[in-house]
Amino acid sequence: MVEPEVPRWGTTTQMKENEMTTTSEFQVTGMTCGHCEMAIRSEVAQIPGVDGIDVSAQTGKLVVSSASPVDDAAILAAVDEAGYEAVRI
């Protein structure tokens, strides 16, 4: 049996029905409403490999799920393209 790779700090890995999911969390500044959430979701969804996006203007959190690790720089660039700033948490 192959052991799962140890995730980087700020990344969680979960097993689901023989499938590994990697989750990365970011703190986004500048979001105030549902439109802000949609703008970020729309940009991040264009990144290859992204399977799930959870974004909240109330908490300022962005959680990106994928079957394999997605480059943080790509996520940060997508958030920037939407007009916001983010940092990895």
The whole domain housing 18 covers 11-88
Residue 45 lies in a domain: yes
User: How many domains, the chain?
Assistant: 1
DSSP string, 25-56: EEEEES--SHHHHHHHHHHHTTSTTEEEEEE-
Residue 58 lies in a domain: yes
Whole-number percent of the chain with pLDDT over 90: 75
Q: What is the pLDDT of residue 8?
A: 43
The low-confidence residues of the chain, meaning pLDDT below 70, are 1-19
Tell me if the pTM is above 0.85.
no
Residue 1 lies in a domain: no
CB 37 within 8 A of CB 56: yes
